[in-house]
Structures are given as structure tokens and as C-alpha cells.
Structure 1
Amino acid sequence: MKKVSVILLAVAGLLALGWWGYRSQRVAPGAAVEITEARSPAAAARPGGAAASRPGGSAAAGPVGVEVAQAAAMAMADEVQAVGTLKANESVVVRPEIAGRIVAIGFSDGARVARGALLVSLDASVLAAQAEQARAELALAQTSFERTRDLAGRQFVSGSALDQAAATLKVQQARLSLAEAQLAKTRIRAPFGGVLGLRNVSVGEVVKDGAELVMLEDVSSMKVDLRLPERFLGQLRPGQSIGVEVDAFPGKSFLATLDALDAQVDANGRSVLARGRLANPDGALRSGMFAKARIVLREKPQATVVPEEAILPVGADSFIFRIEDGKALRVAVRTGLRRDGRVEILDGVRPGDTVVVAGHQRLTRDAMAVRVVDAGAAQEAAPGPGPASGPAAGAAARGG
């Protein structure tokens, strides 16, 4: 048994030795060196190390390439945008005050009429007869009053008889005025000059009092009603300019003026109703049009602006990389108005300064050397490295 055990142990040892030799042959001789280099960054960073000797290593990297733009001074306006509805300066639905049969229509659809123009005539035969009767009774009462006054002057009648005659005269005068007023209501006239809509009645039709005859609107000027957030209430003043655009005339802008503000703020929407007025001499604008408006709150004739791409937001702060002497300086700025891809800079940048608009992600620290990759005047404002720093410059110095 002991001999068998010794033989088994010897076989096991030979197998283990063979397995070790097999593993050692599969590992390349240079692999240990590569692993050592990968796990020894400090050795690679030493002068003369692998990183320094390899082309393209960090020690051979030049200035960072960035794109730049110039800060400029331009006029900007602080404005608020809103949507609203156009309304005519004056608008009314023409209605009869009394019932009657239409005997004449004095207008055509969509016509322009002057103030006082006769629009519709109702049958006035009955009311005209009543007015004539009241006129005759008034004449009789006038004659009776004069006779009674003459007799009272000669003491033939009492004073009460004279008073009764005077009262009868006033009653007849009132009856005549009533009859004439009712007669006048059979002739319906335009309360103001404007443009008529489409009529809703025809000749011979019997209409009731209050029936809709036609719409009349004064479109010589228009009103635009806008709802604005209440936070702008303190900046709104009558007389401020309003730019109005409507879908019916794309690309055309109309100038309006803020006329008035509503007396109260809507508690539901927390908004205030503002009304502007604009001229409409050719009558192109109509009531009910959807309007897009811009109200100019204040104007800045010389605002310092940069492209939006130059702004680097970090939390609640904003930064800009300003180019000075070929280096990118990180500058904290305060922004103001934004308009058409440009941002107003309140401080930190002046007109004419060169700022970075692309390549921020490569600027890992302040005051890094940079080279401008876009052409033009911006490249002259931020010159790149010296002639011997780039590969092309080195080739030129070597004569090829």
C-alpha cells in the first residue's frame, strides 16, 4: 500500500509540473512589460517616459482650437408678447325700436354709409295718421286757450277755466310729440359712419321690435384687446408701442398704441386686459381677427450682445470665455434681454471683446492657450500660437 501511495504522489507531482509549464508557454514574454506600463501612470508621466516618447501624447498637445465671435453693441427692446382679438372702433347691430312691415331698404350688403344715412323704412301710414290727428287736436287746444285767455282778461271767465285750457294745450302738445317720435322710428338711420354687414331681412317682411336688421361697424380704426400677465402691470403705460401681426397678411406688421388698461386683474388667470388702438384707413382689418402682438416696455439703444452659444450656464450662474492674449479667460456675466439668437450682457463683456462660441468642452481650466479655428477678423483678435508650435510650422521651418 505504501508503494502505491508513493507512485500516486509522484504521478500527481508530474501532472502539476506539466500544467505549470503549459501555462508559462501561453503567456508572451512582453505581456508583463505592457501590464506594468498600464499600471504605472507615474512612470509614464516622467520625462522620457512612454507617454512623452509617443507621438500625440499630452506633453506634445498644443493650444486648444475654438471658434469665436465679437461682442457687439446694438439696439434692443424689452418687450412682451401676447395674443388677442381685433375689434372695430364702434360696432352695433341695427334693430328697430317698434314693430312694423319693411317697405324699403336703403343699402346694399357690405356698403359704406355715412352717419344719418337711411337704412330701413317701415310702414308709417298708421303712425302718420295718428300724428296728423294729434296735430289737429293741438291746433284746437291752442285756439281754445287763446280765447279763454282773452275772456279771462276781460273778467268773463274764472282763473280756473284759464288754467284748465292751458293744461289741455300742454297735453295736446305732448301727444303730438309722442306721435311724431313714433313716426320717426319707422325710418331707421345709421347712428355713425361705417361699413355694413349682410342684411338679414327683405322688403315686405314684418319685423318685431329688437329684430336684427344688419351689422354696422366703424372700421376706420381698430381696437386690439390683449391679456397680459399681471407681473407686467407695473411696466405698462398708455402710449407704448404695440406691433400687431395678423394671419391674413403674413409678413406685414401694423403699429398700434396702448390706449387703456382694465380697472381690475382677472383673479382666475392672474392677467390684466390691455387695449390698444391702430389706424385702419383702407379697411383691410376686420373685427374678430386673431392678432399676435408685441408690446415694447423699454428700449436700449446701445446694448452689449453676444451669440447665445457663447453663454455657459453653471447652475444659476452664467459664464463666458473671453479671449485675451491668446488665452481663454473664464468670466462671470449677468445676462439681460434675449432676441433673435443674441443675449444682452449687463457686465463682464464690452463691445469688441472676442468670446468663445464653440469648443467650451475642451477648456478644462481658466486661462488655457487657445487658437482660433474660424477665419476672418475674429482670428486676428485671438491669434494662435507662434510659428514653431504647430506641426505645419515645424515642417515649413525644416524647408518642406
Structure 2
Amino acid sequence: MKHFILIIAVILNIQASESKGATPPASLVQTVVAKEGYTNSLQNYVGTLYYDRHSNLASESSGVVSKLYVKEGDKVKKGDVLLKLESSILEAKVSAKKASLNSLISEQTKQKKDLERSKALLERNSISQSSYDTTFYTLEALDSQITSVRAELLSMKLELKKKRIKAPFDAIIVKRGVDVGEWVAVGSSVFTVVDPKSIEARVNIPSKLLYTVSKNQKFQAKIGTENIEVSIKTIVPLADKASRTFPIKLSINSKNKFIEGMRIDVQIPTLKKEKAILVPRDAVIKRFGNFVVFSVVKSKAVMIPVSVLSYTNNEAAIKAQGLQANMKVIVKGNERVFPNMPVIEKAK
């Protein structure tokens, strides 16, 4: 909004200066000559937005829901705890198992000292071999028991970890399937989460256009009142037998606040050719949400709204009233100029 006000203020200042007879400073620009050519005609196709990263979270453990930390619509970070199942009995068992392990470790320490003493006494023939063996095998039994208890404790801790369901990635909660006090079985769906940055579009186009589109190809599209640029992410080579259409997936700028289910209108080239004005891609910029080019007429910049028909690697095929072949269009410095601003053409 501040940027828009600044642009308007600059235009008004230029117009005020011109009305007073003052000449605004000229801007240095580089131009090329627009040319006439042909491009494929555009056809509007309607698609739908969806989240590519969409997860139904299920519980790996059974139990009663004791705490809920989120609700539908909440944004969460990867690793945030979303839900906790009742685990007081299991926590008590873990505490008891830890105590048992500590007791066994203490006994192991004592038994190691006894074995060292028994070994010294045996070397002096102060005790029998059987007495030493008893101490030795008692220590081995303790070692095995400690290994077993540690494994049991690890298993309990893993089970305790499953009592907390965490976010698998940065997400938005779009559905909650349980409430506090409800019993959750293993495999029960508890939350549905989506990654808002993974928004994409799916559009079905006629199978005859299969060989006219390619991965990363860019198109002009519209969602609601916003004009955007999209590109082909994936071409799914599986046509619908009834409609003879196949789906393409389109990447969308994730900074826009779009949601699943919204409609998208995409302009896709057909097999039919039509005349167009060809200019370098850099000549087409956005002003006030619309595509425009700046032409140079009598050393002044003239802003011309245009419709983009298609893009090639370096060129844009456009249509516009007032723009013809052989007219000069600005390709460098156009982001700095405003309507009727004096310009100086830079030599190539």
C-alpha cells in the first residue's frame, strides 16, 4: 500500500512539474524494436488448487486422550506436540524399571570389586577355584540381567514416546478427529495436517496437447482477482478414457494466501496460430497488478497495458491496443520510469 501511494505521489509530482513548465529529469533506458510474429492461440482451462503435502496422522499407541494442545486452523512447527494420551501407569513402570536398573548397576559395581579380590586370593591359593567361579558367574549373570532391563526400559520409553503425537512438518491443522476423554486405538486417525507452502494446481487438458506442453513451461493464470504466473511441475501421462484429457500439475508462488479447493483459470496455448507482437520478456513488467510495456514516443515513456499470450525462452508474445510492430519498447530501466517521463535511449 505504501509502495502504491509512493508511485501515485511520484506521478502527481511529475504532472505538477509539467504543468508549471518544469522538465522532470530524464531516465536512461535501453530499447528494442517490437516485431510481428505468430504464437499459439490461448484457451482457458479451469483447474483446482490442492495441497501436495497432506497427511492424516494416526496414533501408534492406544489410550485415552488426556490433553489436546491444538485446534483446527492452528499453525504448528515440526516436532510440536499436538496430543497426549494418558500414560501415568506407563510412566510409573518406567520409574520402577529405572530404579531396578540402578540397583542392578550398584550390585554389578560391588560384584566387580568382589571378583578382583577373589582373583587376588586365588593367585595366593587363599580360596578355592569354585569360590572364584561362583563370584565370576554371578557377575556375568548380573551383566546379562542389566542388558535385559535396559532393553525393557528402552521399549517402555519408546512406547511412552508414542503417547505424544507430534507434527511431522510445519503445518496447519485442518481436521481434528478426537477430543479429550476419548479412547484412541492403534491406527486411529487423530489429525489431518497440510503444508500451506505446498499449494499446487491440477488442470485437465485435452490429450491432443500432450506434445505441446513441457515441464517448467510457464503460463498466465488467475485465482480470484489475482493474476499470477504458474509453471508445469509434472505432466501425468495417463489420459481419462471418457473425456480424453490428462492432468498437469502446476507450481504456484507459495507466498500467496491460497487454499485448497479454490478455482484457477489457466491460459494454455492451443494448436491454432494467431498473430502477435513479439518483445523480449524483460519488456513486460507489472504495474498496479497488470502487465504493461513502456514504449518510447517523442523521447517520452508511454505505458501500454498488454495481454500476454505466451512466453518462449527469451520472448513474450503479447497483444495490446496502441502497440504495433516496429515501435520501440523499453527493456532496461523500465522499472524506474513512469507515464510521460522523459527518457534517454542508451546506445547498445
Query: Which of the five TM-score ranges fits, normalised by the shorter chain?
Result: 0.5 to 0.7
Gaps spanning 5+ residues in structure 2: where? 1-34, 120-131, 279-308, 311-324, 327-348
1:157 aligned to which of 113, 133, 146: 133
Amino acid at match of 1:157: D
2:165 aligned to which of 170, 182, 188: 188
2:156 aligned to which of 179, 200, 203: 179
Structure 1 position 98 matched with structure 2 position 61: yes
Gaps spanning 5+ residues in structure 1: where? 1-71, 306-337, 340-350, 353-400
What is the distance in 2 between the residues matched to 1:290 and 1:204? 39
Structure 1 position 281 matched with structure 2 position 258: no
Structure 1 position 86 matched with structure 2 position 49: yes
Secondary structure of the residue aligned to 1:265 is coil
Amino acid at match of 1:200: G
Structure with more relative contact order (C-alpha pairs < 8 Å, separation 6 or more): 2
Q: What is residue 19 of structure 1 aligned with on the other side?
A: none
What is the distance in 2 between the residues matched to 1:104 and 1:143? 38
Equivalent runs, 1:286-325 vs 2, <5 Å? 286-295=259-268, 303=276
Q: What is residue 235 of structure 2 aligned with on the other side?
A: 261
Amino acid at match of 1:259: K
Tell me how far 1:223 sits from its aligned partner: 1.8
What is the distance in 2 between the residues matched to 1:197 and 1:207? 19
1:160–1:292 Cα change, 3 Å: farther
1:83–1:138 Cα change, 3 Å: farther
What is the distance in 1 between the residues matched to 2:138 and 2:270? 76
Secondary structure of the residue aligned to 1:253 is strand
Contact 2:41/2:274, CA 8 A, preserved across alignment: no
Tell me how far 1:215 sits from its aligned partner: 2.0
| Matched pairs, number | 234
What is the distance in 1 between the residues matched to 2:219 and 2:101? 60
Q: What is residue 8 of structure 2 aligned with on the other side?
A: none
What is the distance in 2 between the residues matched to 1:297 and 1:152? 88
Kindly name which structure, 1 or 2, has the bigger radius of gyration based on alpha carbons. Answer: 1
Q: What is residue 199 of structure 2 aligned with on the other side?
A: 222
Tell me how far 1:301 sits from its aligned partner: 12
Q: What is residue 117 of structure 1 aligned with on the other side?
A: 80
Amino acid at match of 2:80: A
1:170–1:232 Cα change, 3 Å: farther
1:286-308 superposed Cα distances (whole Å, 9 cap, x missing partner): 2233433334699x998489xxx
1:217–1:162 Cα change, 3 Å: same
1:151–1:103 Cα change, 3 Å: same
What is the distance in 2 between the residues matched to 1:105 and 1:134? 28
Amino acid at match of 2:267: R
1:297–1:126 Cα change, 3 Å: farther
1:231–1:150 Cα change, 3 Å: farther
What is the distance in 1 between the residues matched to 2:202 and 2:251? 9
Amino acid at match of 1:217: V
Q: What is residue 128 of structure 1 aligned with on the other side?
A: 91
What is the distance in 1 between the residues matched to 2:96 and 2:188? 29
Secondary structure of the residue aligned to 1:188 is strand
Contact 1:117/1:189, CA 8 A, preserved across alignment: yes
Tell me how far 1:272 sits from its aligned partner: 4.6
Secondary structure of the residue aligned to 1:157 is helix
Q: What is residue 70 of structure 2 aligned with on the other side?
A: 107
What is the distance in 1 between the residues matched to 2:43 and 2:112? 76
Amino acid at match of 2:78: R
Tell me how far 1:235 sits from its aligned partner: 3.9
What is the distance in 2 between the residues matched to 1:147 and 1:242? 77
1:228–1:139 Cα change, 3 Å: farther
1:238–1:134 Cα change, 3 Å: farther
Tell me how far 1:266 sits from its aligned partner: 4.3
1:78–1:211 Cα change, 3 Å: same
Q: Percent identity?
A: 19
What is the distance in 2 between the residues matched to 1:206 and 1:254? 46
1:255–1:125 Cα change, 3 Å: same
